Chain A
Amino acid sequence: MNPSITFEEAITRLEEIVKELENGDIEIEKALTIFEEGTRLAKICAKKLAHVERRVEILKKGEKGEDVLELFQGLEED
């Protein structure tokens, strides 16, 4: 499988696979084959799900006028 598959593509394919499996009328060989594919897709999705870090950055001008990303400090009111 293409490792650079996007989350949205992975979800779409996973949807198809789950539907096909749930349809029930499928032979075990075929079921396992697409289940294998589904497992790989699930892995991609689960990686995304596990990513919970929120980061807020702000683009500023550096000393030489170049663009610099800095962590945004302001506006924290909570």
Chain B
Amino acid sequence: MDITSGLVTAQKNIYSVFEITKKIKNLLEENFHDVWVRGEISNLRTAASGHIYFTLKDEAAVIKAVLFRGYQKAVPFDLADGMKVIVHGNIDVFEKRGEYQIIIDLMEPEGIGALQLAFEQLKEKLQKEGLFDESHKKKIPAFPDTIGVITSPTGAALRDILHVIGRRYKGIRIVIYPVLVQGEGAAEEIVEAIGIANRRREVDVLLVGRGGGSIEDLWAFNEEIVARAIYDSGIPIISAVGHEIDYTISDLVADLRAPTPSAAAELVVKNKVELLKWSKELIIRLFTTIDRIVAQKKERASFYSVDVLLHRLEVLLNQKNLILDDLTRSLYSCIEAVIIRVRGRFEKTVGQLNALSPLNTLARGFAIISRLPEDTPVFSTTDVNTGDEIKSRLKDGLLFSRIHQIKKLPSNGDKKP
């Protein structure tokens, strides 16, 4: 028996490697099953299995760490070497290698909220990819007939949108694409709804949003899949998330950002209401100006065109009544007074014109007509062709015009062709 052997056999407890490891394992795992550790990430790598391995270190020590795939949902931001983090988990001993490591189930960046960091990271990534570029933003239609709304069918956002649109303008169709706006599956539903709206092609513009809430509540609108769906949408999208202070990735990608759902609705109908008002004004001005022109020019009209003018005015008068009927049926009753006034003026002018006999005008009017560019005199309808430019000399000036129509009068053919 040698000395060594004697020493060894003198010991009562001899562990096998497995046994001592088991003891260490029990000791560590029982005492450190719920710990928080602060450190810096290094040697970060993602295995083929999807698990993420790294070392947590500080100035004096290192500890191995693993974030299994199943727990990665709880960590919304991307990890990087050098990032300072606080992790939660339990210590685990891997017997076969004689190593211990921390199995992470929660993780926070140090000094900033996890979601805040995730937001910043995604914002930077999408910015680099050009998802926020102004050049990609689509124009919001000024005159939408149909508005799509992607939001919760029971939420405050929808109530606000319907309220605003109902108050400002009723002549509009709204299609609601109901979705969850927070919690599990919300982002996927929003993405699907954007896809459905684009396939159905029934709306001119989409409002995508929800009422205000915490950053967790608004999280679906910070998801990358939602951002990409908004970017890829062929239909212009106005994002309408939360109240003024809440900013989301969706806001940055959308073609237009409204601070609240109400404001989004305002934006959409404001254009429409304004265009409607403008079109009314134009129509009224159209009729006002023609009666002024006719009144000014009727005495100076060259003789050959008076009967044509009268005929055309008659036709127009009939159409005008149809238009005015439509106008009178429209929303703003205050406009009606103006229409009635214009109608009166127009009819009076036309009445005056009707009272003018073409013969009287012929007697009063005087014109020498020549064909341009040669300036050759025109004596007969056969001296000119449709489309020719002619010059009429009146007592007080020249008229340049183009021939639209040649109509021979059988009773008054002063020259035979």
Contact = CB atoms under 8 A, between A and B. Distances in A.
A52 B327 CA distance: 12
Given A18-B285, A18-B286, A54-B172, A78 B401 contact: no
A5 interface: no
A29 B162 contact: no
Contact of B327 (A22, A49, A59): A49
A49 B294 contact: no
Contacts of A57: 173-176
B175 A35 contact: no
A60 B174 CA distance: 14
B279 A52 contact: no
B326 A30 contact: no
A47 B325 CA distance: 10
Nearest to B298: A28
Contacts of B178: 58-60
Interface in B147-175: 153-154, 158-159, 162-163, 165-166, 170-175
Which DSSP category, helix, strand, loop or mixed, fits chain A's interface? helix
Given A32-B312, A45-B279, A52 B170 contact: yes
A11 B339 CA distance: 18
Given A49-B327, A55-B173, A43 B322 contact: yes
Interface residues of B, number: 59
B362 interface: no
B174 A56 contact: yes
B323 A46 contact: yes
B63 interface: no
Interface in A1-58: 6-8, 10-11, 14-15, 17-18, 21-22, 24, 26-33, 35-36, 38-40, 42-43, 45-58
Contacts of B4: none
Interface stretch (B25-33, B67-75, B110-118, B313-321): B313-321
A43 B293 CA distance: 21
A65 interface: no
Which DSSP category, helix, strand, loop or mixed, fits chain B's interface? helix
Nearest to A22: B289
A77 B159 contact: yes
Given A46-B327, A50-B329, A29 B166 contact: no
B177 interface: yes
A75 B159 contact: yes
B399 A27 contact: yes
A58 B337 CA distance: 39
Contacts of A50: 326-327, 329-330
Contacts of A67: 196, 200
B9 interface: no
B297 interface: yes
A44 to B, nearest CB: 9
B275 interface: yes
B323 A8 contact: no
Interface in B299-315: 300-301, 305, 309, 312-313
B283 interface: yes
B290 interface: yes
29 contacts: A18-B285, A22-B285, A27-B399, A28-B300, A28-B301, A29-B404, A32-B309, A36-B312, A36-B316, A38-B286, A39-B286, A39-B320, A43-B326, A46-B283, A46-B322, A49-B326, A49-B327, A52-B170, A52-B330, A53-B171, A54-B170, A54-B172, A54-B174, A55-B173, A57-B176, A59-B175, A69-B175, A72-B153, A75-B158
Given A32-B309, A57-B175, 12 more contacts: A17-B286, A18-B289, A21-B286, A28-B297, A29-B309, A31-B293, A33-B404, A45-B283, A55-B174, A56-B162, A72-B153, A74-B153
Which 4 interchain pairs have the tightest Cβ spacing? A46-B326, A49-B330, A54-B170, A58-B176
